[in-house]
């Protein structure tokens, strides 16, 4: 019985460590005002790509371990501690789905455009301008420097405007 409790405890701790690594490492490496080395960036991006799946699997394993642990553990405070650990792993799985960069810089979900002659934009404002298949479009830089990306279609061509 002791061995079973130990096994489930170790599984729970392993799930916690794994989920913490998959959530925290990319955020640690890929953050503003910090230089990114090529090697660590490559690792961080791979971790990011598999983060959602790994943290879900970890949460499932943590919950299953907790369920078995509950059966074998009589002390109430240890049960609560294990419950908190499993809950934390589930919380990390939810956090893994949050795009912190889009929390900082909200994406443009629904863009609208005005004819240039009707726009109230000041003449001195800088824009990035494109001409695609005869259609002209401009993106004000002050707004683009916040949103950074807009998925658009100009001249029947799908483009991504970036700044």
Partner 1 sequence: MWTREVDGQRLTFHLAGINNQNFIMRDEETGTYWQQISGLAISGPLKGRQLTPVPSDELTFATWKSEQPKGTVLDDIAQFVPEYAPKNWDVRMQRMPAVIQFAERGMKARDLMLGIQAFGASRGFLLDRVLKEKLVNDHVGAEPVLLVVGEDNQSVRVFRDRIPGVDGAPDFYRLAPPKPGALLMDAATGSEWNFQGCAVSGKSQGVCLERVQALKDYWFDWRNYNPQTTIWGK
Interaction site with partner 1 (CB under 8 A): 26, 30-36, 41-42, 44-46, 48-49, 99, 101-102, 105-108, 111-117, 119, 121-132, 135-151, 157-162
At residue 61's C-alpha, the angle toward residues 52 and 102, to 5°, is 20
Q: Of 5 and 148, which CB lies nearer to partner 1 in the complex structure?
A: 148
Distance in angstroms (rounded) separating the CA atoms of residues 10 and 5: 9
Q: Minimal distance in Å, beta carbon 159 to partner 1?
A: 5
Is the Cβ of residue 30 or residue 83 nearer to partner 1 in the bound state?
Answer: 30
Whole-number CA gyration radius for the chain: 24
Minimal distance in Å, beta carbon 115 to partner 1? 6
**Smallest gap, in angstroms, from Cβ of residue 18 to partner 1?**
20
Q: How far apart are CA 1 and CA 74, in angstroms?
A: 11
Question: Which is nearer to partner 1, 71 or 142 (by Cβ)?
Answer: 142
Burial class (CB in 10 A: 0-12, 13-18, 19+), 143: middle
Least distance to partner 1, CB of residue 24, Å: 14
Q: Tell me if 83 sits within 8 A of 90, measured CB to CB.
A: no
């Amino acid at each position: 019985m002791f061995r079973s409790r130990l096994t489930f405890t170790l599984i729970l701790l392993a799930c916690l460590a794994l989920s913490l690594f998959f959530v925290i490492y990319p955020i640690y490496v890929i953050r503003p005002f910090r230089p990114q080395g090529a090697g660590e960036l490559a690792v961080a991006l791979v971790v990011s790509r598999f983060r959602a799946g790994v943290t879900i699997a970890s949460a499932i394993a943590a919950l299953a371990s907790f369920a078995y642990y509950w059966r074998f553990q009589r002390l109430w405070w240890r049960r609560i501690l294990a419950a908190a650990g499993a809950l934390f792993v589930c919380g990390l799985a939810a956090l893994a789905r949050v795009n912190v960069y889009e929390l900082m810089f909200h994406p443009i979900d629904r863009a609208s455009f005005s004819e240039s002659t009707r726009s109230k934009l000041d003449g001195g404002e800088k824009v990035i301008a494109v001409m695609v298949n005869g259609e002209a479009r401009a993106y004000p830089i002050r707004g683009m420097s916040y949103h950074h990306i807009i998925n658009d279609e100009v001249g029947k061509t799908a483009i991504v405007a970036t700044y």
